[in-house]
Amino acid sequence: RLNEEIRRREKVIRIFPNEASVLRLIGALLHNIMKMDNR
């Protein structure tokens, strides 16, 4: 599920400027998934 979401957003962004931006995206996605699972 996480990989699918990363790929979906990656298509919009195309190229990440640096590693930190990729880690921020993954962190935000994990945070959202955890929030949704805890409902």
User: What's the whole-model pTM score?
Assistant: 0.59
Confidence at residue 21, expressed as pLDDT on a 0 to 100 scale: 86
CB-CB contact of 38 with 6 (8 Å): no
Residues of 2-38 as b/e, b for ≥16 C-beta within 10 angstroms? eeeeeeeeeeeeeeeeeeeeeeebeeebeeeeeeeee
Cα distance between residue 26 and residue 20, in whole Å: 10
Confidence at residue 5, expressed as pLDDT on a 0 to 100 scale: 78
Confidence at residue 11, expressed as pLDDT on a 0 to 100 scale: 67
End-to-end CA distance of the chain: 17
Per-residue pLDDT tens over the stretch 1-39: 778 877 777 766 677 788 888 888 889 989 998 898 886
Range of the domain at 8: 2-37
Cα distance between residue 24 and residue 18, in whole Å: 10
Confidence at residue 12, expressed as pLDDT on a 0 to 100 scale: 66
Into how many domains does the chain fold?
1
